[in-house]
Amino acid sequence: MNSHNGGIHHDQIEELLGVYALDALDPEEKVLVERHLEECPRCSAEVAQHLEVAGFLANSGTEAPPQIWDRISEKIGSGEAPDWGKLAARLPKPQVENLSTPVVDQPESSQSGNSAAEESKVIPIERSRRSRLVMRSLSIVAGAAAVLAVFLGIQVNHLNSQVSQLQALSKKPLYNQAVQAALEEPTTRRIPLTPGGTPAGGSEVTIALTSSGRDFVISQNLSGLPSTKTYQLWGEVHGKFVSLGLLGSKPTVIPFVISPNAPVQMFAITAEPTGGVVQPTSSPVVQGTVNL
């Protein structure tokens, strides 16, 4: 390859990849390499390999010092439940196509630039929505009803390892009755999710939002994924996407928990690597807007 990057050829940059991975470059060269890595997947892959090897060099059987954790814990643990605005603010906008994001008013200070610092600023939430939302632990925690979950002795969470439990649970008559009862509640809202978010063609997935906040993803005909992939449910909050949980590779009816007051403007489901991702990396398979 002969591409130039700040006057440097690809093969000259390649020569720098080892020393780059060891942080042994001068700052000016480091900038050049990083600029090149943004557009060269081959060199990025080589750096990733060097970093793994360097990681082995540092390997040791040392204990994580507890006193450092105490200080970290003190800084991150305010003891308060997080709110949706802050949760959304910590996530950058997803870099995927076809994820139709409504325009969201940004604070004035963040309109002038797009630096990382500005990206991470908290987007203010309307006062009426500012009440703390109970998002204890991971949000896909409980089942169709807390009572039912306790009764069955199963607490459902959003990790893949628990998806099989969920699917087993869905075969239980009591669970099905709970789902049915929730769907028949007049206050239950149904959000159809379709490819592209358009109503035409019928929905492939329905989100059922109950008044209790114990909700369901009901998949009518989502096709199965290979075992290396999982469907992941997202809620759009203030223009950013917050993971609502992993649904497994062949979801049917999956319960999740979300506050009835959560300002989710859109739901979307993407196919992601097993284990899930912090932000969507692929275009949504289906999506649907919530009419507030």
Partner 1 sequence: MIDLESASDANLVVAIARWHEPAMAEVYRRHGGAVYALAMKVLLNENAAEEITQEVFLDLWQHPEKFDSQRGSLRSFLLARTHGKSVDLIRSEESRKQRETKTTRETATAGYDIEHQVWDMAVAEKVKKCVDDLPEEMRKPIKLAYFGGHTYREVAEMLDTPEGTIKSRIRIGLSKLRVNLVESGLEPAGAGL
Q: Which residues inside 249-278 make contact with partner 1, applying CB under 8 A?
A: 273, 275-278
Given candidates 4, 38, 39, 53, which one binds partner 1 under the rule CB under 8 A? 53
Residues 148-177 touching partner 1, rule: CB under 8 A, are 155, 157, 159-162
Q: Could you tell me if 223 and 269 are in contact, meaning their C-beta atoms sit under 8 angstroms apart?
A: no
267 forms beta bridges with 235, 288
Nearer residue to partner 1 within complex by CB, 7 or 61: 61
**Residue window 101-120: x/- pattern of binding to partner 1, with contact defined by CB under 8 A:** ---------------x---x
**Min dist. Cβ of residue 132 to partner 1 (A):** 12
Cα separation, 237 vs 69, in Å, equals: 31
CB of 82 to partner 1, least distance (A): 4
Listed residue (145, 288, 270) closest to 215, CA to CA: 145
CA angle 210, 215, 216 (to 5 degrees): 125
Q: Residue 188 contacts by C-beta under 8 Å, 6 or more apart in sequence?
A: 182, 208, 209, 210, 211
Nearest-CA neighbor of 37 among 54, 18, 53, 17?
A: 17
DSSP annotation of 194? B
Contact 142, 214 (CB under 8 A): yes
Of residues 71-90, which lie at the interface with partner 1 (CB under 8 A)? 71-73, 75-77, 82, 86-87, 90
Neighbours of 104 (CB within 10 A): 14
3, 49, 164, 187: which one contacts partner 1 (CB under 8 A)? Answer: 49
Taking CB under 8 A as the rule, does residue 19 contact partner 1?
yes
> How many chain residues bind partner 1 (CB under 8 A)?
72
Does 1 contact partner 1 by CB under 8 A? no
- Residues 217-236, interacting with partner 1 (CB under 8 A): none
17 lies in the binding site for partner 1 (CB under 8 A): yes
